[in-house]
Structure 1
């Protein structure tokens, strides 16, 4: 049942974002910023944690989950380090994910030899 919940919730998030992109004049970059900020805001008010517990990767993998990770990291760092955690917590929480994305994308570019579109 965990896989099913992750699949339908993640699919619903992606479908709603695709509709937002198709029906509005918002640029993709602005939609991505909106998703990250929404994830952080929903986490701050306590709404997103139950969704992550329910849907697992379906809620934590989409970009809205990145905002959730940033908020959780900042909250933990503020509890441990005080106001300095406001500036360091988000980076600490997402460092492994961002680093692995950079490393694996670099390795993929070496293997597949990407070319510019004409």
Structure 2
């Protein structure tokens, strides 16, 4: 990844709403999400979401796919991994054992009450 591309991607993610949209799409995985779902989850007006989706697309962080009359958005995992690789290139003088992220246990979720 080139410095210019990394700067564009980081600038796009530097805005709280766009970061929230991107994280939601990362969570959705390759299946992605429809704009209406994203807007509902993040409580965003359609025009606001459209603007942020356009910015994330222009930064190369998300992709869109037509599905009939609708469009599905998904994170571009290759671009995300390229950005992470760019940020960690030669980390710790090349000693990757010092730079690997620490694996943390997943947060415990409240158990659902069973219906009797």
In the superposition, the TM-score normalised over structure 2's length comes to 0.25
Greater RCO (Cα-Cα under 8 Å, separation 6 or more): 2
Structure with the higher helix share, 1 or 2: 1
In the superposition, the TM-score normalised over structure 1's length comes to 0.25
Structure with the higher strand share, 1 or 2: 2
